[in-house]
Structure 1
């Protein structure tokens, strides 16, 4: 029987010790055990106030759909083998099966369209054209009351590339909003007070950014007079994105002298790295813990969290998530994929534990927080990466009008668009929107 060290070795440590710069293969000593560095973070007794909140958690590569979808529907449904990981919260979430984005082409562009519902090839002459994501519609409404209108988290920072986005959030022009992948930087951004010198440097940086944006707008106005109608339309879309950036900078300036919430980082494993197989479980935990703290302090009310970019990701033991999603129906690969699915859901369950254990005026934080969890693709029975029957869960929001504790099963071939679910969330968050993308109504049975 193989003996494992209690503390898994990191590749970086071993390479440094060996004095070489070659990339080592995954060794058994690097694989984390189930008890590797468990989080010691504790939930707060109360939040800073009762507010509507939403977080959208995305897992790439689909799931083992055979062990995901419950066999029965309605209020008295039986949890599937995979969903048993959420058994303690069965009354707090709804399984939605059979649903999808009709305009999506499937494959690994699922993260780009999960919250937008867009047809990325809809614009003639353009290879990629996205639209505003549901979270940003909500952020426009609630962001006026918080330091950050929204937060974007991902295991890969920045925006990524078209069709392989590192973010789930897109502004009104369909421009991706960059994501953060460092727990340390995210914590400092939210909770570490700036020194006077730091404030002045920040204000100078904002002023420089606004100066650049003003220059861009001025040059674009001159250029616009020389363009044809089609190019003018493209330029207008670009300028809308510039104006939105300018508005975000102005908002940040208005908060510069408002003290940040005082938060002790005790229990937060801020050094965790998303692409380190050993750190992976802790990185998901700490990013969800920081999300919890952002909600508890009302630093923001809108968060998107791409747990891994499409065509990437690890399981809890360092398994190659993307490789397993191309299972071709192989039973052993499907079994391993289901293990990753349950690992992810165990992290979601812990996050829901934090929210439920924190008291608010007439309930707990989960009652006022909507948690959307799922994927923009389905690896199907044969690994075909379909845009249909997307694995989807929606939790919380009891006090926001959502009906939970059920399985809403729709016909895979005759289903309402996923945009109906997104419209339900938008409206539950208090935004008076009559429709979203290709929605036909709110989602029947959820509200």
Structure 2
């Protein structure tokens, strides 16, 4: 008999009849759980800059344990929000906000930062608009290697109504997300060799040549079209011009050295689609977000923690399935456990920012974090676009005054865009309106 104990990982699958099924979390797997991250925040950052981070969780929350029962600065933390107790003075909880133009359901990520009415354009079954993060990136992105970062547990853009990204350009075109910690680290911090540099410049030159050809063809085609088609073509042309601008920016940064950052204690091989890796993957993506900001590689980050109709809890629970709880007490209990698991990850990220000195305060004072979901699974799992679970943390040096629990009447459905406009303005962007906003909130 072997002297080695039997061990089993969640990465093992049962294979048979051409079907692969991931194993549930068994007791024998506990010894193989990956160790928590040993990553530690730095003591001090460089120059202070306004920053914005948008963290999205799908499927709503157990709103019964999320919503505080009283309001104001001295409110009592709800059972779920008690997870963030040490940072209570650093965040505001908003209830009653929603997206009046949304139909709800699992299109929450598509509209969370845009507030768009996706079927408002006659003849189109989907039409999005610019997201709030990209309004901020248009200003601050001129000074950083990457105007913004898009992160998600699924790479690319996904599909309409099930987006893998929270970010959309001014034409409503989705911006692809990254889900691999190792690829993200390489992109942000690994120096390129001379051969890499030449290959990169050739690739950019080819893209520029293709874009030039597209623009010339677009101009010729436009002369033969009617008014409606010319307007559509003008929007397409604008999208091409924005792509060209991004290529030009990337070319200008090729010879600028990347920040020197060690990958020690970063669990870069964590897999987003593996239930076993879920805590480690979320942690390392937030660690990389922290490093991207402290090195001023970017100041704007959107992070879809899981795509809608998907996701895992900390123990591999099926998040989407539990969101369709139908009022079942046990399912609501397990959904609340997932909510607290998410806030534990957020709490750790807030620790990093608050423990890193910057200027006369800390990084959290210069960084606003919007955390929440684009749906409310309610008391019966109805997936409503009203009374969304929302909180804003940080940003005190940007003029954010935290007010504890700010409660609005969900039946009057004040737009979440009011809060998005507030964040846009706090970063120094001159804007008096965003989407369907009617005022500001912070």
- Measured against the shorter chain, the TM-score band is over 0.9
Alignment match, 2:10:
10
Cα distance in 2 for partners of 1:32, 1:61 equals 28
- Given the alignment, which residue of 361, 384, 387 partners 2:385? 387
- Give the Å deviation of 1:339: 0.4
Does residue 1:63 correspond to 2:61, yes or no? Answer: yes
DSSP 3-state at the match of 1:282: helix
Distance 1:93 1:429 in 2: 17
- Spell out, residue by residue over 1:234-261, the C-alpha distance to the aligned partner (whole angstroms, 9 max, x if none): 1211221111111011001111101000
Kindly indicate whether the alpha-carbon contact (under 8 Å) linking 1:32 and 1:317 is maintained by their aligned counterparts in 2: no
Measured in 1, the distance between the counterparts of 2:179 and 2:47 equals 27
Greater CA drift, 218-227 or 385-394: 218-227
**CA deviation vs aligned residue, 1:84-105 (integer Å, no higher than 9, x gap):** 1101110000000010011111
**TM-aligned CA deviation for residue 35 of structure 1:** 6.8
Counterpart pick for 1:401 among 395, 399, 402: 399
Residues 290 and 8 of structure 1: CA distance in aligned 2, closer, same or farther (over 3 Å): farther
Q: In the alignment, which residue of structure 2 is the partner of 1:414?
A: 412
The gaps in structure 2 that reach 5 residues or longer are: none
Cα deviation digits, residues 45-86 of structure 1 (max 9, x gap): 111221110100000000000100000000010000110110
Describe the shift of the 1:220–1:389 C-alpha distance in structure 2 as closer, same or farther (beyond 3 A).
same
Give per-residue Cα distances to partners, 1:238-288, cap 9 Å, x unaligned.
221111111011001111101000000111000001000101110000000
CA distance in 2, matches of 1:302, 1:407: 26
Tell me the residue number matched to 1:241: 239
For the 8 Å contact 1:120–1:130, the answer to whether it is kept is yes
Q: Name 1:229's counterpart in structure 2.
A: 227
Q: 1:124 and 2:92 equivalent? A: no
Aligned CA distance change for structure 1 residues 31 and 229 (closer, same or farther; 3 Å):
farther
For the residues of structure 1 that align with 2:32 and 2:348, how far apart are their CA atoms? 15
Give the CA deviation at 1:27: 2.9
* 1:410-438 alpha-carbon deviations (Å, 9 max, x no partner): 00011421100000000000001011011
**Which of 246, 261, 267 in structure 2 is aligned with 1:263?**
261
1:135-179 per-residue CA deviation (whole Å, 9 max, x = no partner) reads 001000000100000000000000000111000000010000000
Rounded Cα–Cα distance in structure 2 between residues aligned with 1:6 and 1:359: 46
Q: CA deviation at 1:33?
A: 7.9
Q: Deviation string for 1:343-363 (max 9, x for gaps)?
A: 000000000000001001110
Q: Residues 304 and 31 (structure 1 numbering): CA distance in 2 closer, same or farther, change over 3 Å?
A: farther
User: Residue in 1 aligned with 2:45?
Assistant: 47
**Cα distance, 1:20–1:207 mapped onto 2, change above 3 Å:** farther
Asked if 2 retains the 8 angstrom alpha-carbon contact of 1:143 and 1:150, the reply is yes
Q: For 1:5-404, what aligned pairs fall within 5 Å after superposition?
A: 9-12=9-12, 22-29=19-26, 36-404=34-402
Q: In 1, Cα distance between the equivalents of 2:73 and 2:214?
A: 55
SS of 1:184's partner is: helix
Across the aligned residues of Structure 1 and Structure 2, the Cα RMSD in angstroms comes to 1.7
Contact kept in structure 1, 2:99 and 2:413, CA below 8 Å: no
Shift in Å, 1:22: 3.8
Task: Say which SS state the counterpart of residue 348 (structure 1) adopts.
Answer: helix
Alpha-carbon distance change, 7 to 79 in structure 1, aligned in 2, over 3 angstroms: farther
Tell me the TM-score normalised to structure 1 length: 0.95
- Indicate the SS of the match to 2:140: helix
**Relative to structure 2, which stretch is displaced further, 414-423 or 75-84?**
414-423
Distance (Å, rounded) in 2 between the aligned partners of 1:380 and 1:289: 32
Are the counterparts in 1 of residues 91 and 394 from structure 2 also a CA contact under 8 Å? yes
Q: Distance in 1 between matches of 2:10 and 2:377?
A: 31
SS at match of 1:279: helix
Query: Structure 1 residue 19: deviation in Å?
Result: 10
Is this contact kept in 1: 2:324–2:382, CA < 8 A?
yes
Inter-partner Cα distance in structure 1 for 2:70 and 2:362: 30
Structure 1: state its 5+ residue gaps: none
